Amino acid sequence: MAKPQLVCPAGSLAALKAAVDNGADDVYLGFRNDTNARNFAGLNFDDKAVAEGIRYAHQRGRKVLVAINTYAQAGRFADWTRSVDRAAELGVDAVIIADPALLDYATRTHPQLRRHLSVQASATSYEAINFCRDKFGIQRAVLPRVLTLAQVENVICHTEVEIEVFGFGSLCVMNEGRCWLSSYATGESPNTVGACSPAKYVQWEKKPAEMDVRLNGILIDRYGNEEKAGYPTICKGRFEVAGETYYAMEEPASLNVLEMLPEIIRIGVSAIKVEGRQRSPTYVAQVTRNLRQAIDAAAATPDGFTVKPAWMAELGKVAEGSQITLGAYNRPWR
């Protein structure tokens, strides 16, 4: 059984170096435009930073992947093709793409450039993945965070494409690539402008005993003075339902698959991905370091693997809402 690659996020050059220094096999990043799904102010890479990141990673035997994973907008297809061209010219190791038209462009224009199917493509079946293999020559597919581990295994059994799954980080209540909530509230979404709940629509209203948080005027949460306020995504807001106020769609929690690592390795997962390009270099270093140790231990002695309390404690410190979950991987209902 091959040991999965550890794929870690980089929203900045400092985060990229933190990932490489702490044991990432692959680092993924995006350009400073809306062709990537983490298009936040102050994040992402210009050409100079990408070139430096590639140099730093390649000198240490690691790979750099570029996410061009939003959908090209009408009349602006050239903006997306330019990002593919830039990635190829800079010498990245792979591009991560969701849009079929862009996959087709990359296949025809840069056939030597390795292509990964983004989670934003919402490919949850081996039929969808094999279609993209046959049409666009993809070599890896990132699965949305909606499948049980048994369903992931079924996909792996029916495709030659490498399968990448998420192992740590914030969850998405929607099937990636099909989220309408941010669009409903603001007219913009990760799939179009590269940002969920864009900051320009966020409003914080401090009151004596509480703080209201609104997204484009919609009240999505109210925090007491002692509560930590998270970034206001509408799916993780608290709403009044039938007289009760609670997290009606999804609680803020982070996926953490440490206890499932031997099984993930057994079924043949090729890569384990960490979410968090919008997070700090400290987050990247901490998560990468602990997952590196855990994956190595699980691969070396799968039958005798145990989760070290120190790993759980360290990852718990950076978990969203200070809560962890196995998400859909261990879904008791089907």
pLDDT of residue 247: 87
Tokens of 161: 């494409």
* 45 and 185 housed in the same domain: no
> DSSP letters along 251-313, please?
---EEE-GGGHHHHHHTT--EEEE--TTS-HHHHHHHHHHHHHHHHHHHH-STT----HHHHH
CA distance 126 to 63: 26
Q: Buried b vs exposed e over 118-153: b needs ≥16 C-beta within 10 Å? A: bbbbbbbbbebbbebbeebebebbbbbbbbbbebbb
Question: Is residue 176 a part of any domain in this protein?
Answer: no
Residue of 322, 269, 260, 252 lying closest to 7 (CA atoms)? 269
Tokens of 37: 């799904």
Q: What residues make up the domain containing 212?
A: 181-247
Give rounded-to-5 percent helix, strand, coil for the chain: 40, 20, 40
* 16 and 82 housed in the same domain: yes
Could you read off the pLDDT of 175-194 as tens digits, one per residue? 676 777 888 889 888 888 87
* 107 and 91 housed in the same domain: yes
Strands 94-97 and 5-9: unpaired
**Helix, strand, or coil here: 118?**
coil
CA distance 80 to 155: 29
Domain boundary among 247, 281, 298: 247
* 162 and 191 housed in the same domain: no
Give the Cα-Cα-Cα angle 282, 286, 291 (nearest 5 degrees): 150
* 281 and 229 housed in the same domain: no
Question: Is residue 149 a part of any domain in this protein?
Answer: yes
C-beta neighbour count of 310 within 10 angstroms: 10
Segments in the chain forming alpha helices (H): 13-21, 47-59, 77-90, 100-109, 126-136, 149-157, 181-186, 261-266, 281-300, 309-317
pLDDT of residue 231: 76
Strands 162-170 and 140-142: parallel
* 112 and 205 housed in the same domain: no
* 106 and 150 housed in the same domain: yes
Residues of the chain with pLDDT below 50 are: 334
* 19 and 149 housed in the same domain: yes
* 162 and 185 housed in the same domain: no
* 58 and 195 housed in the same domain: no
Tokens of 10: 């980089």
* Domains of the chain: total: 2
Which position has the token pair 């190791």? 93
Residues 6+ apart with CB under 8 A from 87: 66, 68, 95, 113
CA distance 28 to 161: 19
pTM over 0.85: yes
* 164 and 278 housed in the same domain: yes
- Give the CA distances from residue 200 to residues 41, 92, 146, 191, 195, in Å, rounded to whole numbers and listed in that order: 10, 32, 30, 17, 11
